[in-house]
Every structure is written in structure tokens, then in C-alpha cells.
């Protein structure tokens, strides 16, 4: 594996200079950051998760720059997707926490948050996320190339390279894109068949299995591979087929906090949202801590190497273009200034300890998030789980230091919001830098581009949150805002001395057991935290990859099969991302209900169509020749 790392050569060599950070790439990237941020804010508040924008941004960028403008620079396209994807990540971090402030305002407990407050939370979180990720680039992107798959970062690079090389590669990508876009439109636009199916076992109370029959999940599963997909499914199996039935069995008619209904009256979804999410959050937090402890020596070594190179007077003269990062002294100054501003600005009702929590937890979760997206991709990065862990600590510390009541609750959400955005942006930055590493981009320019994307999307997200609240209101059927509602309950529970510590600690010790058994904790914990149906969708793609890799053939044939699958599934992820954004715009414009068909296929129809998609993926992988 080490040999592969040393032999790796980017598509654009380090000694070759091509257009990259141009006015064209900057303007298109800014527009995409705003559009993707707004669309994903709606999707995340509706369904509880966002779709990574890197690949859709790269595909749209290729269409504009290569086809419309007749320009030919893969690095310009790469910078567009770098800036554009920042909007999705800022939205992901913001929507899981900040709507809690709107919910409290509706209850008359506080004033509605100002646009400036939302802007500062998003800006500080985004900039810190980039700053914390930069020193980790060498460790995670370069030294672990070939170890961490970075599914979406690798897929995005494949999309860009396919567009550059043309021919059958580009055709494979765009075939996947077209099929996925049509599939998504028929499923969630026309609603011809449900995109999620499930089955409740009546004789085994509390349990439920299901699968989200979405192309993007099959794509992520194929790119991640069967091992990581199986660890996620194992975590989901433990939650949905072991822990939840036990809760139903022993709970009976009891009403157990944080639930408000009797256990016997709860559906499996109720059990998951009221209990499993806390257990999963504890497991994710413990997995993050274990991951940090294991990688700490590498992180320290990376920091030392970075500081040493920056301290040399003429270091930059000898640094290759593809190894240039933003200077460490500058990053440290920015981090210290933001920490001071969080303490000083009245918008953040936090004391110096609160500001310190932001920096410490920000770096911790940035490093964890960066590694986690290397395993499971940005779309499945459970930033809300990290925010839960942060909220618990932040609220306890604020309460212990005398900042209680509504002021403490606002402070906890502000800290949680910043950390949530830090985690989301750090994960997105690492994914984008992986793409850049493969295509031969300049890391420094990508890092600046990421900050530009953060700035414009932070300026826009406040208006989007107000728009959605005015249209439907948070916590309603139209905009459930599930994570933010849970964050609100969590903070209130701590401030009122009511928190389900037993559930959180159960998750922590499950993660410890997984580590003792040498099971990769993070994908396992993520599987516990996310719905079973999502893990099952990812596993379906992993199964196809497993079958493709087991069919006999020479090493070259096996590589060609796998590569064809990666290209096609990259298109699947891109197509669903683009169509998801189109459907979000239609929903905001109140057109979604008009285009929905008055009838739909039963669940078996969804399953048959999804199996047909998986079979098509298998046949495409096995196709001989070009």
C-alpha cells in the first residue's frame, strides 16, 4: 500500500500550471453555494438528512464551463464544486440546530434570532471548520491514500476525469446521472412508487425492517464497498432488531423519559426517535473519542511538520504546487480571533469557557468528521450526532458556571450550531481536498475557495431559514425539523435536570464493546444512529460490489469492472442530488403537489424497480470491452 501512495501521480502534474482560481470559477461557485445551500436546507428540514453537493456541482460546472463557455480546465471545474459544496455543508450544520431558536421564539420564550446572529454562527463555524481541517490534510488525504475510500471525493474526481477524457467514461457517468434523475423524479416527484418501504413484525413488537430504494444510497454502498456497508447494517440491526424490541418488551405500558407516550403505544419509528437516537449519539460520540485517541499521534506529528515547514524562511520556494496549504501561523491567528469574537460579541451569550469549548470541541469534531467522511461519505456524516454530544457538554458547563435559563439555552444552541457547522464543513473540505489531490489541484486555492463558499452561504442561510419558517413553520408536517426539535428538548432537559444519561451511556459502552471486538466503531455507531432503511439501501450497493469482485477474471478485468461501477454510481449520486434540488425548488414554489400522481404502486413495486436498478448496475460492471 505504501508503494501505491509513493507512486501516485495526480492527473494535472505539480509542475503544470492551468487556470484554476478564475473569475469564472469564482462566480459560478458562488451561485451554486447559494442554490445548493437553500435547496439542502429545505431537504434536510424535511427528511432529516442532506445530499452532498460536490458531484452535482462538478457536473453542472462541466456543463457550463466546457459546453457553454468552451473552456477546458479540470481545475476550474474542481474549484467550482469546492465553493458550491460549501453551501450544502453550511446548510446541513445550521438546520440541525438553529430552528430550535425559532421554536422557542414561537413559544414566546425568546426573541426571534436576527439575520446577523445566524450569519455569525454560520460564518464562524464554517471558517473554523476549514482552519481545523487544513493541518489534517497531509495525514488524512495524502498519507492514507488508498486506505480511506472518501467515496464522494473519489466519485467527484471520477466525474471530473470522465468529463476531461470524454468517450465511454463520460457516457457511463452521464448514463448514471440521467437514470438516477429520472428515477428520483418518478419516485419523489410524481410519487409513482414510495422511495422507502418497510415491514413491521407484529409478533416481535418494536422491530421493523425497511430499505430506502434510492439510487444515491446504492451508489454510496458500491463506492464504500461491502465491508463498511456491512458494519453500518450491523449497527442498524442491533438498534432495530435487538434494542428496540427489548425496550418494547420490558417497557410495557410505562411512560419513560424522554418519550411522552406509553411504550406499548409507540411505533418502531417512535422508539427510534425517542430512545435509539440518544443511544446512537452516545455511540457516535464514543466512537469519535476512540478515533481521536488512535489518530492523535499522527495529528500531532502532522501539526509539527506543518509548523516546521512554515517556520522555514524560504520553505514555500521548495514546496510543490500540489502541496501548498494556507500558512499555519495565519490559521492560528484566525482561530484565536474567532474565539475572542465569540466571547466578546453580545450575539453569543457565552463566557470565556464557552468560547474555549467551541475551539476544543471544534477541533475534535473536525478531525473526527474529516476521517468519518473518508469512510462513509458526506451525505451520511452524522453531524447532528456530534452536535448532540457538544450540546450535552456545553449546556452542563454553562449551567455549572451560572449561565442558566433562556440565556444558557441560547448559548448552548449557538455553541452547538457552530460545532455542527464546523463538523459539516470540515468533512466537506476533506472530501473536496481528496478530489483535488486526485486531479492535481492546488490545496491552498481550494481552501480559499471553501472560505468564499462559507461566506456567501452564511450570508444566505438566515434568509432561507426565515423563508421556510414563514411558509410552513418548524415542527409542522411540512417542515418537521426533527433534529432541531430534539436539540431543543435536549437543552431544556439538561437545564431542567432531566436528561436520559442511561441511554447515552449505553451507547458509549456499546461502542467500547465494538472496539474491544475490533469492529470499526464509527461505521457501526453511525449505523446504530441512522434509520435501518438507510443502512439497508447502502448495503444493497455493497452487495453488488461484493458480487462483481468475486466473479472470476484477471486483475485487469476486475479493475475495469470495478471502475465502470464507480463511474456509473458516481452518476447515480449526482443525478439524485440534482433532481433532489429541483424537487426542493418545486416544493417551495408549491408545484410539488400538482405534479404528484393520484395513484402509486405498492411497496413490492418499489422493491422490484430497485432490484432492476441494482441488476442493471451489475450488468454494466460485467460488460466486456469499452
C-alpha cell at 171: 457516457
What pLDDT was estimated at residue 465?
93
Answer for the pair 58, 160: CB distance below 8 angstroms, yes or no: yes
> Do residues 183 and 503 lie in contact, with contact meaning Cβ atoms separated by under 8 Å?
no
Query: Interior CA angle at 130 toward 469 and 440, to 5°?
Result: 120
pLDDT at 238 over 80: yes
Question: In 10 A of CB 130, how many CB atoms?
Answer: 26
Per-residue confidence band for 335, with pLDDT thresholds at 50, 70 and 90: very high
**Per-residue confidence at 313, pLDDT binned at 50, 70, 90?**
very low
pLDDT tens sequence across 403-415: 888 888 988 899 8
Mean pLDDT for 353-357 is: 81
Q: Could you give the C-alpha distances from 499 to 265, 419, 491, 494, in angstroms and in order?
A: 22, 21, 9, 6
Note whether 130 and 447 are within 8 A (CB).
yes
Over residues 24-69, the pLDDT tens digits come to 999 999 999 998 888 788 777 876 667 677 777 887 788 788 777 8
What would the pLDDT profile of 487-505 be if each residue is shown by its tens digit? 887 888 888 877 788 998 9
323 pLDDT more than 80: yes
As a whole number of angstroms, the distance between CA 56 and CA 276 comes to 32
What is the total residue count of the chain? 626
Question: Rounded CA gap, 582 and 166, in Å?
Answer: 26
Q: Count the domains in the chain.
A: 1
Beta bridge partners of 200: 208
Percent of the chain with pLDDT over 90: 44
CA distances from 587 to 46, 590, 593 (A): 11, 5, 8
Measured CA angle at 35 (ends 175, 45), to 5 deg: 95
**Of residues 555, 538, 443, 454, the one with CA closest to residue 125:** 454
Q: What is the mean pLDDT of the chain?
A: 86
Quickly state the pLDDT bin for 618 (edges 50, 70, 90): very high
- This prediction has a pTM of 0.77
Domain that holds residue 162: 18-616
Cell 461484493 locates to: 546
Structural domain includes residue 623: no
For residue 590, the SS3 value is coil
SS (H, E, C) 477-535: CCCCCHHHHHHHHHHHHHHCCCCCHHHHHHHHHHHHHHHHCCCCHHHHHHHHHCCHHHH
Interval 188-236: pLDDT, tens: 889 999 989 999 998 999 999 999 999 988 988 998 889 989 999 999 9
Is a pLDDT exceeding 50 seen at residue 2?
no
Q: Is the peptide bond before 186 cis (omega within 30 degrees of 0)?
A: no
> Which helix (H) or strand (E) covers residue 221, if one does?
helix 215-224
Closest listed residue to residue 214, CA positions, set 537, 570, 531: 537
Q: If you average pLDDT over residues 432-437, what whole number do you get?
A: 95
Q: Are 541 and 220 in contact (CB under 8 A)?
A: yes
pLDDT (0 to 100) of residue 151: 85
- Whether the pLDDT of residue 71 is over 50: the answer is yes
% of residues, the chain, pLDDT over 70: 92
- Asked whether residue 254 is domain-assigned, the answer is yes
What pLDDT is attached to residue 314? 41
* Residue 1 within any structural domain of the chain: no
pLDDT of residue 307: 58
Amino acid at each position: 500500500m505504501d508503494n501505491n501512495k509513493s507512486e501516485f501521480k495526480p492527473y494535472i502534474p505539480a509542475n503544470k500550471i492551468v487556470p484554476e482560481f478564475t473569475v469564472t470559477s469564482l462566480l459560478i461557485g458562488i451561485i451554486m453555494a447559494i442554490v445548493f445551500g437553500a435547496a439542502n436546507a429545505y431537504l434536510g428540514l424535511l427528511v432529516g438528512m442532506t445530499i452532498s453537493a460536490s458531484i452535482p456541482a462538478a457536473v453542472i460546472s462541466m456543463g457550463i464551463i466546457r459546453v457553454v463557455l468552451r473552456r477546458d480546465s479540470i481545475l476550474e471545474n474542481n474549484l467550482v464544486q469546492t465553493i458550491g459544496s460549501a453551501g450544502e455543508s453550511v446548510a446541513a450544520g445550521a438546520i440541525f440546530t438553529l430552528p430550535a431558536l425559532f421554536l422557542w421564539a414561537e413559544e414566546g420564550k425568546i426573541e426571534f434570532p436576527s439575520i446577523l446572529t445566524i450569519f455569525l454562527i454560520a460564518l464562524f463555524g464554517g471558517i473554523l471548520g476549514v482552519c481545523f481541517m487544513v493541518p489534517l490534510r497531509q495525514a488524512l488525504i495524502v498519507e492514507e491514500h488508498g486506505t480511506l475510500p472518501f467515496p464522494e471525493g473519489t466519485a467527484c474526481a471520477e466525474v471530473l476525469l470522465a468529463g476531461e477524457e470524454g468517450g465511454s467514461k463520460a457516457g457511463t457517468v452521464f448514463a448514471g446521472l440521467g437514470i438516477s434523475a429520472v428515477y428520483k423524479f418518478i419516485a419523489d416527484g410524481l410519487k409513482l412508487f414510495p422511495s422507502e418501504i418497510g415491514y413491521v413484525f407484529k409478533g416481535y413488537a418494536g422491530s421493523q425492517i425497511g430499505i430506502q430504494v434510492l439510487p444515491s444510497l446504492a451508489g454510496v454502498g458500491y463506492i464504500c464497498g461491502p465491508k463498511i456497508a456491512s458494519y453500518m447494517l450491523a449497527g442498524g440491526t442491533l438498534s432495530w432488531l435487538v434494542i428496540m424490541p427489548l425496550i418494547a418488551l420490558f417497557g410495557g405500558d410505562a411512560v419513560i423519559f424522554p418519550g411522552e407516550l406509553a411504550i406499548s403505544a409507540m411505533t418502531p419509528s417512535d422508539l427510534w426517535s425517542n430512545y435509539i437516537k440518544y443511544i446512537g449519539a452516545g455511540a457516535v460520540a464514543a466512537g469519535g473519542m476512540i478515533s481521536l485517541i488512535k489518530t492523535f499521534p499522527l495529528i500531532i506529528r502532522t501539526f509539527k511538520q506543518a509548523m516546521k515547514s512554515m517556520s522555514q524562511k524560504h520553505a514555500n520556494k521548495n514546496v510543490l504546487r500540489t502541496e501548498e496549504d494556507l500558512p499555519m501561523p495565519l490559521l492560528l491567528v484566525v482561530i484565536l480571533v474567532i474565539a475572542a469574537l465569540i466571547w466578546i460579541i453580545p450575539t453569543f451569550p457565552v463566557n470565556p469557557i464557552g468560547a474555549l469549548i467551541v475551539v476544543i470541541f471544534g477541533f475534535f469534531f473536525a478531525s473526527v468528521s474529516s476521517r468519518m467522511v473518508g469512510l462513509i461519505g458526506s451525505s451520511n456524516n452524522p453531524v447532528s450526532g456530534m452536535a448532540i454530544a457538544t450540546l450535552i457538554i456545553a449546556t452542563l458547563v454553562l449551567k455549572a458556571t451560572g449561565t442558566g435559563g433562556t440565556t444558557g439555552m441560547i448559548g448552548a444552541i449557538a455553541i452547538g450550531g457552530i460545532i455542527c457547522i464546523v463538523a459539516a464543513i470540515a468533512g466537506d473540505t476533506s472530501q473536496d481536498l481528496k478530489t483535488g489531490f486526485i486531479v492535481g489541484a492546488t490545496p491552498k486555492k481550494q481552501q480559499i475557495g471553501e472560505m468564499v463558499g462559507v461566506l456567501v452561504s452564511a450570508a444566505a442561510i438566515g434568509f432561507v431559514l426565515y423563508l421556510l419558517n414563514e411558509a410552513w413553520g418548524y415542527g409542522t408536517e411540512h417542515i418537521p425539523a426533527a433534529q432541531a426539535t430534539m436539540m431543543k428538548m435536549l437543552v431544556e432537559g439538561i437545564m431542567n435536570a432531566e436528561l436520559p444519561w442511561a441511554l447515552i451511556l449505553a451507547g458509549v459502552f456499546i461502542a467500547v464493546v465494538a472496539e474491544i471486538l475490533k469492529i470499526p466503531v464509527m461505521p457501526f455507531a453511525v449505523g446504530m444512529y441512522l434509520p435501518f432503511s438507510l443502512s439497508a439501501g447502502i448495503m444493497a450497493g455493497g452487495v453488488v460490489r461484493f458480487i462483481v469482485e468475486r466473479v472470476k477474471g484477471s486483475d485487469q478485468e476486475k479493475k475495469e469492472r470495478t471502475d465502470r461501477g464507480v463511474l456509473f454510481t458516481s452518476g447515480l449520486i449526482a443525478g439524485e442530488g440534482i433532481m433532489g434540488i429541483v424537487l426542493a425548488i418545486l416544493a417551495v414554489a408549491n408545484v410539488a403537489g400538482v405534479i404528484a400522481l393520484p395513484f402509486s404502486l405498492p411497496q413490492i413495486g418499489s422493491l422490484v424497480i430497485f432490484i432492476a436498478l441494482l441488476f442493471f448496475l451489475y450488468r454494466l460492471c460485467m460488460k466486456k470491452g469499452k
